[in-house]
Chain A
Amino acid sequence: MSDKDDIEAPVITEAAPVLEDGNSEPAKNSESVDQSIKPENKPEPVVATRKRPESKPSSDCETSEVLPVQASEAAGKEPASKEAPQTGWGYWGSWGKSLLSSASATVATVGQGISNVIEKAETSLGIPSPSEISTEVQYATGETNAKENENSFPMTGAFGVFSTISTAVQSTGKTVISGGLDALEFIGKKTMDVIAEGDPGFKRTKDLMHRNSTLSQVLREAKEKEEQWTTNEVTMETDKKTHYGLLFDEFQGLSHLEALEMLSRESEVKVKSILNSLSGEELETLKLELEHLKEAFSLAEFSEEEEEEKKEDDDFTKEITELFSQLHVSSKPEKLARARNTAYEWIRTSLEKPLEEKEEGEKQLEGETTEQINKNSIEDIHAFAIRSLAELTACSIELFHKTAALVLHGRKQEVTAIERSRTLSQMTVVLCKELSSLSKEFTTCLTTAGVREKADVLNPLITAVFLEASNSASYIQDAFQLLLPVLEISLIENKTELPEA
């Protein structure tokens, strides 16, 4: 953990009590205590499958309720946060305005800030590792820990929301300018309703605000909720297609994320204990080096290259492969590239269609691809978009996980930790940009295919794609930050020639 974090974190913790004191939920507290005592009799279904001991916010039930209720409830809570009043939910009202201003702001800084905050908060929570929590007793302790620190979270969440928004803006912003899409209108005016109507991403973002969870927990819970929804609806099969969380899990994104978190936590503990064992000049030198490493972990390049547009198709594959070879880990990004190319291929065929469209009957002639295209309603495009985003994100996180494993346990490295960090941060930028341009492509598809649709049918789908894309980008950035402790330990081990543990 850096000093930078230390600066941010206390602020948060200070602000927090104000939030909770007023309407801290005693019911919630007792509820979770209850659960830790007798986990058998839970009132909620989700709890049974949840992985880590946690404060179990009432939002478990909340989330499936009508969202406006949450929004107002949340709004009631947030404004107390003086530090960043505009990032609370009350801020949503003026989202349209903020879009314009933050469009030019550096997404990177915000994005990174949020991860740091989350990371900081996570560690300060001392969320127990799976092996530590094998007994009920320890469960209880974990619960208490979480409880005490819970206060620090609304702020974190607020940042989370902000970063999500600005990432979305990054993609929407361009569309507004170049595509002549009615983006501003739909975002500004309808966002609240649209999102509230049933965007899973919104729920997740909201979840991030309210709880002290790791990224994988948030996603896992989202997935579990989606699972419940889908199994309880007749239209399950079709429904599942648009649930980001379920799809993300299906592509094993959740597992890889958890695995990455595990490696990250272990490394973090090691780094701390090594730092504790050092003193004097040795300590200062190491701290300085770790500081450099952390700098390499910033996503500063994000804004610099932001403008370049429309790359050739192969560029992404080339770029990401190139970056991977610079990492000197033996893992290959082929799977990711394949997933990405499949998405673009689909978009291409999908876009070709509307141009030569008009005569519905004619399409039949073109063989199997046509059959697919034929059915490309806006719902299909939306479903495929969500699926692609989930797959790309899962692949990206798998790559980060593999990278972590190889950095920790790979063969002797020919590159320094700092070089790797720079490469990784570049890679993160590339991945996020890719998600952003992919989502733009998809929304172009949507607008083309949905010319004759009513705005209130089309817009929610477009918004959902943008939102999941921006969420995806946030997940990737957060996952990227999980690599920091891994590279820190790599740096230390390389330096001191510590035998591998």
Chain B
Amino acid sequence: MEAIWLYQFRLIVIGDSTVGKSCLIRRFTEGRFAQVSDPTVGVDFFSRLVEIEPGKRIKLQIWDTAGQERFRSITRAYYRNSVGGLLLFDITNRRSFQNVHEWLEETKVHVQPYQIVFVLVGHKCDLDTQRQVTRHEAEKLAAAYGMKYIETSARDAINVEKAFTDLTKDIYELVKRGDITIQEGWEGVKSGFVPNVVHSSEEVVKSERRCLC
């Protein structure tokens, strides 16, 4: 357990029911694959630290949302406070790929006035024989929306780390460049608490962390 991090990012994971959102997150946060899991109720919460550069850690708060339509009104409420998102579809389920578009539209409406940095994730890539979505078309769709595309498998632990870490790095770059800023009343990005020892590093110079009463 390490309590030192530069920033805290809130990420949301969305996509159709049964594409494997919870399994992907559990693989990432708990390091194991749960064969069977109940459908997510509303939202679930996970967190993990990610080291993006040596000594630079980001705390990820990951919101796992229910894919089921009936919980949509709950999950919608979580878009707004997310800085990043993983939009999942199941490569063996064409329908879930076709719905990507709707998911993006839905978030666009509810995230205002903020924006979410999305990565498109083709999940269950271990089941290549049952593939219904080609990598090429997925990449094309992702590019059309300015997203990166990555294929993952929670079962075989393929690209799971990479999916989260790459997204985190991208967001971190945006934060560093000032394209994304910490805002009061918005929980997407928060600055972490860094002990004085580490304080010398450049981007830690944030006034609010200095004064400790």
Contacts and interface: CB of A to CB of B under 8 A. Distances in A.
Contact of A252 (B41, B46, B70): B46
Interface in A243-283: 246, 250, 252, 255-256, 259, 262-263
B27 interface: no
Interface in B104-149: 112-113
Interface in B56-98: 61, 70-71, 73-74, 77, 80-81
Interface stretch (B11-19, B160-168, B170-178, B182-190): B182-190
B190 A252 contact: no
Among B61, B113, B212, B213, chain A packs the most CB atoms within 10 A around the CB of B213
B193 A252 contact: no
B70 A48 contact: no
Contacts of B191: 48-49
A61 B71 contact: no
B210 interface: yes
Interface string A228-249: 1011100011001000001000
A405 B41 contact: yes
B193 to A, nearest CB: 4
10 contacts: A51-B185, A61-B213, A134-B112, A134-B185, A232-B195, A240-B3, A252-B46, A255-B61, A409-B42, A409-B71
Interface string A402-419: 100110111000000000
Contacts of A45: 208-213
Which 4 A-B residue pairings sit nearest by Cβ, starting from the closest? A405-B42, A61-B213, A255-B45, A48-B208
Interface size bracket, B side: 35 or more
B73 A409 contact: yes
B200 interface: no
B213 A60 contact: yes
Given A45-B208, A228-B193, A256-B45, A237 B213 contact: no
Contact of B3 (A230, A252, A256): A230
Contacts of B41: 330-331, 402, 405-406
A322 B187 CA distance: 38
A39 interface: yes
B70 A409 contact: yes
Nearest to A402: B41
B185 A252 contact: no
A49 B3 contact: no
B194 A263 contact: no
B205 to A, nearest CB: 14
B159 interface: no
A246 to B, nearest CB: 8
Nearest to A263: B74
B104 to A, nearest CB: 20
Contacts of B185: 51-53, 130, 133-134, 139
Contacts of B43: 259, 405
Majority-rule SS of A interface residues: helix
B4 interface: yes
A42 B208 CA distance: 7
Majority-rule SS of B interface residues: loop
Contacts of A232: 195-196, 212
A300 interface: no
A501 B74 contact: no
A167 to B, nearest CB: 27
A401 interface: yes
A194 interface: no
A131 interface: yes
A130 B80 contact: yes
A417 to B, nearest CB: 18
Contact of B184 (A48, A61, A500): A48
A33 interface: no
Contacts of B210: 45
A228 B73 contact: no
Contacts of B212: 45, 64, 228, 232
A51 B77 contact: no
A401 B45 CA distance: 12
A405 B71 contact: yes
Nearest to B191: A48
Contacts of A409: 42, 70-71, 73-74
A304 interface: no
Contacts of A228: 193, 212
Nearest to A131: B80
A47 interface: yes
Contacts of B36: none
Contacts of B190: 48-49
Interface in A32-48: 39, 41-45, 47-48
A122 interface: no
B1 A237 contact: yes
Given A48-B182, A501-B73, 13 more contacts: A41-B207, A45-B208, A45-B210, A45-B212, A130-B81, A139-B184, A227-B3, A228-B193, A231-B193, A231-B195, A232-B196, A252-B46, A402-B42
B17 to A, nearest CB: 13
Contacts of B209: 45, 48
A343 B46 CA distance: 22
Given A134-B113, A402-B41, A409-B42, A44 B213 contact: yes
A61 B213 CA distance: 5
B70 A240 contact: no
Contacts of A262: 77
Contacts of A246: 3
B194 A401 contact: no
Given A43-B211, A45-B211, A231 B74 contact: no
A449 B195 CA distance: 34
Contacts of A255: 45, 61
A48 B211 CA distance: 11
A39 B183 CA distance: 9
Given A45-B208, A134-B113, A330-B38, A236 B195 contact: yes
A312 B55 CA distance: 49
Contacts of B3: 227, 230-231, 236-237, 240, 246
B193 A131 contact: no
A250 B29 CA distance: 12
